[in-house]
Chains A and B, each alone.
Chain A
Amino acid sequence: MQILQANNIRKEFGSLVAINNVSLSLEQGQVLGLIGPNGAGKTTLLRILATVLRPTKGTVKTLGYDSAKEYLRIRKHIGYLPDFFNLYNDLTLHECLEFFAKAYQVDEDLIPQRITDMLKYVELEHKRNDFIRHLSRGMVQRMGVAVLLIQDPELFLLDEPASGLDPKARIQLRSVLKKLSNEGKTIIISSHILTELSGLCSHISLMNKGNIVMHGAVDEIQQKVFSTKVICVSVLENCQRAAQLIKEFPNTEIRTVEGNEITFEITANDTELAALNSHLISAGIKVFNFGEKKTDLEDLFMEISTEE
């Protein structure tokens, strides 16, 4: 089922074109990572999708509703976590969740249990009666997720949820997001910290200067960008000789030779890789490690940015 369809969105702020003819679609259960450097237009795009901003041109359909005309309906079904948000500091966690539960018309009888469940989900049960102003930034971010969860939205829009968090808080938030992703929720999450999205997203859209430079499933894009494999070989001795032998092998290109480690790119299948390994060993090279270096989103981002 299609959750979101955006066509040729353009957003201008005066003479600045923040988003330039961006089109995007999202199916139920997909987790889309919006990656891009600061100023790429991620926040603007998310705000448009969240119906908080109106595009200068283009249309957005969320859950079948036109965002220009039916944004109040859309808002009932989406959970949007802005980049710099705060919750009501003068309320306790319990009061805050009760307020949102009532606003989102959760069944009165279910509210107490729902609040308990959500606080457990984001691991803040022990802070139930504390004021929000007494929470750390990381806790506020998790509380933000709890506020969205209490609405039980069909689409989550999370704008840089981990920005400004310390490593521990980031790991805690990540585990919450991972849970959401595993539960099959439809999510769009933006970040410029690429490792934050690794292993979380099923799809990614790379944004730069208001454009979507690349969009697709993570595997597809990896395959598209990295048609060659990156292999790392560690040898006990004769490193230069080993590098020479690798270089002579078809479709290879040495990247680095550092100490006893050679990194090279190769366009080959598994059988050919096994043959290369045998060739090195039969030439008297003592290989103690031969493996493919997995690419993460950081590499992917750098690769695409370089291509750009």
Chain B
Amino acid sequence: MLNNPLILRYRYNLMRPRKFWIYVTVYVSVIILILLLNYIAYKQREMFTRPINFSRNVFLHLTVLQILVLCLLSAINSGSAIKQEVIGNSYDFFRMLPISASKKTIGILVGKNLIMLLFAAANFLLLTIFGIYRQINMLELMQNFFALICISLFINSTVLLSSINKISNKKSSNTAVIILLCLLLSPLLFRYFTAIDKLGEITSKFYTIEMPSTILVGLVMLYFSCWSIAGILRKFTLEDEPLFSRIRAFLFMLGFEFVCLGLFYTYLTKENTTYIWPVNYLYWLISLLPVLLVPLGSLRRFDKYLEHSGLIQDKSGGKNMMIRMLMYSNLSLGLGLFSIWIVGAVGTTLIAGLKLLPCLHIILVLFSFYLFLFLLLELKVVYTSLSNKAGLLLGFITAVYIILPLILEGILPKHNYFDLFSPAGFIFSLFRESLKRIDIRNSIWITNFILCIIPILLILKRHIYILNMRRKM
């Protein structure tokens, strides 16, 4: 692995004695500070009357440090690698390097984090020492390490993927991804710290298989890391292609549904039915995430449409070109993903033993929201080539679509169903049981479908333009 030229390149830079010893000094100082402060507290305060309390706190603080090193600092490094190439005008050289995509991935993830990995290894050693002193079972300790490594791998690979998928000259665009990931994982980390004394005893179920929670978390993170890495490899190999091919997008969606259902299965099949419906809706909302996010990372751009229209012309000889173009467009991806989601949603409704018809009605409303928003996204794709501010206008329309009904709800208190016309309001209302009136639900989806007419016409107009242009080429 050390023969990887990228690791060599980063090693040259990071391991220069002047730099290296500064990093080491900072790290050693932090460790000494942790030990010293805990020792003072141990000596001074009554709560640390037993030596085991001292090692317990050191273990906890070292774990925090390890999370900072493995999940935050390394993620910043991983996410900045490509950005630095772009900003430094060396990205073309990087792209032209004749090394495999996997070598590039390992080169960045390991090479950029050489120092962090060194500190993480030292930390693991200290954690083991204090863990043993704290009388933590070795197996439990290893499970903790496994979970930490998997979480770190997931965060690092996802941040790297996001930096490749949207290459820009802005320095800060990855910070948002890191913050988002940290927010998403913070409940998990909170639970981790609060239960650090009895981690080995906490178990979770995946479908019917019971296992330690740390193992389950690690496996789930590992699963999604594999997808992130597959995405990185794809972007390094097929630079111009969207992040997901159609098949990969559908496979990812199916996999997500499978994992999500596995985690929810126990709660959906509990005999106590009081909380079944909110659990069911929660499952719906979580499994909706990839339906929203996968298309964002997999959009086919306008120039791809142009390119593909040529292939269609050659293959079809000019027949059914519009249908073929629409099949190729992002719309088919959105509809495909939503169809898979519907299957999952209906499945959980049946598993939970809830009434199917009202749920189908809600699914129809959710679909109408999704369709309108997706059409706005597609409008951005096909009209950005005409004006690069098209996205701004469509973003504004989206914001109005989401926020205006909520404002109307506030200023028109007598008509307290306006918030249902916003996707955000509707989603919140799923947990408020305010959806009982069928006439309101019908008016929502009908309104949304009417709103969809103009975007559909505009999109069709643009597709006709593409096909006409292709004929003229």
Contacts and interface: CB of A to CB of B under 8 A. Distances in A.
A104 B89 CA distance: 20
B303 A12 contact: yes
B310 A85 contact: no
A88 B88 contact: yes
B93 interface: yes
A85 B89 contact: yes
A299 to B, nearest CB: 34
B102 to A, nearest CB: 13
Contacts of B93: 85, 87, 100, 147
A274 interface: no
Interface stretch (B8-16, B29-37, B214-222, B342-350): B8-16
Given A87-B93, A103-B5, A57 B386 contact: no
A80 B91 CA distance: 12
Most buried by B among A13, A76, A92, A103: A103
Interface string A97-110: 01110111100000
Contacts of A225: none
Contacts of B307: 54, 56-57
Contacts of B302: 14
Contact of B9 (A15, A54, A84, A91): A91
Contacts of A142: none
Contacts of B96: 50, 52, 75, 78, 80
Given A56-B303, A102-B8, A14 B98 contact: no
A95 B10 CA distance: 11
B306 A102 contact: no
A88 B13 CA distance: 10
A219 B386 CA distance: 44
Given A15-B385, A54-B240, A95-B12, A80 B88 contact: no
Interface in A13-63: 13-15, 50, 52, 54, 56-57
A72 B6 CA distance: 17
Contacts of A56: 303, 306-307, 310
Interface residues of A, number: 34
Contacts of A50: 92, 96
Interface string B1-41: 00101101100110000000000000000000000000000
A95 B5 CA distance: 11
A86 B89 contact: yes
B99 interface: yes
Contacts of B95: 52, 75
Nearest to B92: A82
Contact of A89 (B3, B88, B473): B88
A192 interface: no
Contact of A14 (B89, B99, B384): B384
B98 A76 contact: yes
A90 B385 CA distance: 38
A52 B92 contact: yes
Contacts of A88: 9, 13, 88, 90
A73 to B, nearest CB: 9
B86 to A, nearest CB: 11
Contacts, number: 80
B316 interface: no
B385 to A, nearest CB: 3
Interface in B230-250: 237, 240
Nearest to A58: B310
A10 B473 CA distance: 9
Nearest to A159: B92
Contacts of B384: 14
Contacts of A102: 3, 5, 8
B103 to A, nearest CB: 9
A75 B236 CA distance: 13
Interface string B193-225: 000000000000000000000000000000000
B121 interface: no
Nearest to A50: B96
A14 B92 contact: no
B113 to A, nearest CB: 16
A91 B302 CA distance: 39
Contacts of B12: 90-92, 95, 99
B64 interface: no
Interface in B425-455: none
Nearest to B95: A52
Contacts of B6: 103
Contacts of B464: none
Contacts of A91: 9, 12-13
Contact of B97 (A12, A57, A90, A103): A103
Nearest to A82: B92
A88 B5 CA distance: 13
Interface in B277-325: 302-303, 306-307, 310
A104 B8 contact: no
B88 A86 contact: yes
A100 B384 CA distance: 38
Contacts of B92: 50, 52, 80, 82, 85
Contacts of B97: 75, 103-104
Nearest to A95: B12
A14 B385 contact: yes
Given A75-B96, A84-B89, 5 more contacts: A54-B240, A72-B237, A85-B89, A89-B88, A99-B12
Interface of A: 10, 12-15, 50, 52, 54, 56-57, 72, 75-76, 78, 80, 82, 84-92, 95, 98-100, 102-105, 147
7 contacts: A12-B306, A56-B306, A80-B92, A87-B90, A88-B9, A92-B12, A103-B6
Interface of B: 3, 5-6, 8-9, 12-13, 88-90, 92-93, 95-99, 237, 240, 302-303, 306-307, 310, 384-386, 473
Closest 7 CB pairs of A and B: A14-B385, A86-B89, A103-B5, A102-B5, A76-B98, A90-B13, A99-B9
